[in-house]
Amino acid sequence: MDTTHTQALIGMVTVLGILVLLVLPSLIGIAHDRRVDRQIRQAQQARGEAVAQKSSSRSTVPSTAIWYADGRRSKKLVSS
């Protein structure tokens, strides 16, 4: 191996090292996001099972106060 081959090898290793340093934080972030997504999915499934066991006695009809507030918000102001 002569000097040219050695320099080419050193250059290639340097470029690959820089590439790894640039890509590594992204790969770590992707792995972290996937782990968090998996934990959220497991928590939602556990919560869904707990909610499915408990029946709700609350009414789904909005109260009078909500109907009144919606009506008041929908009116447009008219300047004279």
- The pLDDT value recorded for residue 47 is 87
- The pLDDT value recorded for residue 49 is 79
- The pLDDT value recorded for residue 16 is 97
A 10 A CB-CB count for 53 gives 7
- The pLDDT value recorded for residue 55 is 56
Tens of each residue's pLDDT in the chain, 80 residues: 899 999 999 999 999 999 999 999 999 999 999 999 999 999 999 888 776 666 556 666 656 666 555 565 555 555 65
